[in-house]
Amino acid sequence: MKYLSACLALVVTSSYASADLQECLANTDLNPENRFSHEVLTLENGSPYKVVNDAATGLQWGFCFVGQTLSNDQQSCEGVAEVVMDLVPERQYTPNVREKTLEVVARENRSMGETNNLWHLPNVKDLLSIYNERCVPAYYPVFSHKIGLTTEQINELKDTKIDYSLPAAERKEDTAKNIRGWAYHSMNVSTDSNSPGRYLFFYTVSFSGHGTPASANQQKYSVMRLVRKKP
């Protein structure tokens, strides 16, 4: 991919966290040893793509979740984050979620004109490396964590009632809303692996900030954030 890049110095303050609706404990080092920095790439189609460079791991992360676009002022993300389970055919009973997520990753690489240093889904270790247990949500403030829905909208999805007396096909829509709401509420982020032989469940890390994740969990619904080695 050919692109121009504008490196932006990262200055993280408590007001930054507050403005982004994020709460961190007092005296939290929000950018330890200037580990993180922003960069805005100009893609071949002229679109800006904001990334977070991590000097500690050598990784380059997407600033926004998959499905979102960068705002005009390049400070936030617009649109609603895609949810993994929504990618499968509506009537498919045991969808191959792994296959669908890989299709999305390939789509993103194509749209960015990337052919060499490809973007991919992170592994569990990658995700835990950017988990900040002193903040809620549990990201360093350099990452956008906004899903694209208000808290009220997320709670409305999460609180969708499911009538289990109905056949599965008739309650599927309400079930999808309910689980999608919980995915947003828990801020589950997908990894690149699923349980052996199980395509419906895959490993995610929750960034809700309510407790430190000792390990990844098996979930059906999650959002996606791309990563790669910094060029």
Q: Name 38's Cβ contacts closer than 8 Å, sequence gap at least 6.
A: 7, 8, 9, 10, 50, 51, 52, 53, 63, 142
- Interatomic CA distance for residues 58 and 158, integer angstroms: 36
DSSP state of 152: H
- Interatomic CA distance for residues 223 and 130, integer angstroms: 16
- Interatomic CA distance for residues 151 and 142, integer angstroms: 21
Give 101-133 pLDDT, tens digit per residue: 888 999 999 999 988 899 999 999 999 999 999
Give the pLDDT band (50/70/90) at residue 2: very low
Give 68-97 pLDDT, tens digit per residue: 999 999 999 999 999 887 765 554 455 567
pTM confidence score = 0.84
Edge to edge, what strands does the sheet with 202-206 contain?
A: 188-194, 202-206, 217-219
